[in-house]
Amino acid sequence: MAGSSHGHTPAAWTGVTIAFIGFCVAGAFMVMAQPVGFWAGMAIVVLGGVVGAAMRAMGLGQPKQQPLAVAHAAPTATREPAVAEG
C-alpha cells in the first residue's frame, strides 16, 4: 500500500500504545508468577482495543474508503480456427 497512511492515526497509535503497556504488565506479572496481575494486564490489552475502536468511531481513525467499481469488459468475439476439409 504505497502512499497509504494506514495506521498513522491517533486512534491507532493510542490503541496500540495501551495494548503494548498491557502486554508489558501481563509479561511482568507472568514472570513473577502472579496470575491476578497477569489477567489485569490482559484486561489492559482489551482496553486498548476498546479505546482504539471508540476513538475511530469518534472520527479519529482512518476514514473508510468506498470500494472501487469493477469495470466489466464486453466479451470479445473469438475466432474459430479454420479447419481444412478434405
pTM over 0.75: no
Domain ranges in the chain are 10-58
The pLDDT of residue 68: 66
- The tens-digit pLDDT sequence of the chain (86 residues) is 455 556 688 888 999 999 999 999 999 999 999 999 999 999 999 999 999 999 988 888 887 776 666 666 666 666 666 666 66
Per-residue DSSP letters for 17-54? HHHHHHHHHHHHHHHTT-HHHHHHHHHHHHHHHHHHHH
